[in-house]
Amino acid sequence: MTNRIKYHEGSKLSGDFSNFLLTQQVMLYQNQEDLLALVLDFIKAKEEKAKKEGILEVVEKITSEIKKQMQTYVDLVTKIVDFIYATAKEEFKDKDLKILVSRTNFCFETKGINILFIIDASFENELTFSTMLHEVSQMVLEQDNFISELFYLNKRNIELDEDLIMNEYPFQRKIEY
């Protein structure tokens, strides 16, 4: 027996066939309920698979972007701290100023940059350090497009509220001055 369909042009066949909606096409067959169920099950399964894959793809994309942004943010905070340590080491080489510690808080939502430097210094050097901080802040804005707030606290002859500082700036940079 000749398989007549085999000799039909595919386009011709599908041209007629596709004029019907899928559900209407189902009506052309016997056991239409079974076929309809089969079709709907198949579509549902494909939809679910596509949703899962789509969501996964979107989630992966978002996670990757967030990770990238977080990395940039943490890198920048670290870069600022290290730059200030390095500059202070050079500029205050033989002067009465020492950075004792630097602390920060990270807010990944807002990407706010707040860094506190606790120093031990004479008043004259404290002034120079203050100037250096706002120069660095301006540089960060121009070069890295981030607003940063850099503060200092001169510990000389005063008692500090360490708990409050740790609470507001929980992260301390491990660094040797």
Q: Give contact residues for another protein (rule: CB under 8 A).
A: 107, 110-113, 116, 123, 127, 130-131, 133-134, 137-138, 141-142, 145-147, 149, 151-153, 157-161, 164-165
- Residue 156's nearest CA partner among 127, 108, 122, 130 is 122
CB of 152 to another protein, least distance (A): 6
CB of 96 to another protein, least distance (A): 15
Q: How far is CA 122 from CA 44, 100, 109, 126, in A?
A: 74, 14, 38, 6
Q: How many CB atoms lie within 10 A of CB 60?
A: 10
Of 86 and 147, the one with the shorter C-beta distance to another protein is 147
Of 57 and 149, the one with the shorter C-beta distance to another protein is 149
Do residues 89 and 159 touch, judged by C-beta distance below 8 A? no
CB of 45 to another protein, least distance (A): 43
In whole angstroms, what is the distance from residue 107 CA to residue 100 CA? 24
Of 51 and 134, the one with the shorter C-beta distance to another protein is 134
User: Any idea which residue has 């430097």 for tokens?
Assistant: 117
CB of 84 to another protein, least distance (A): 14
Of 25 and 130, the one with the shorter C-beta distance to another protein is 130
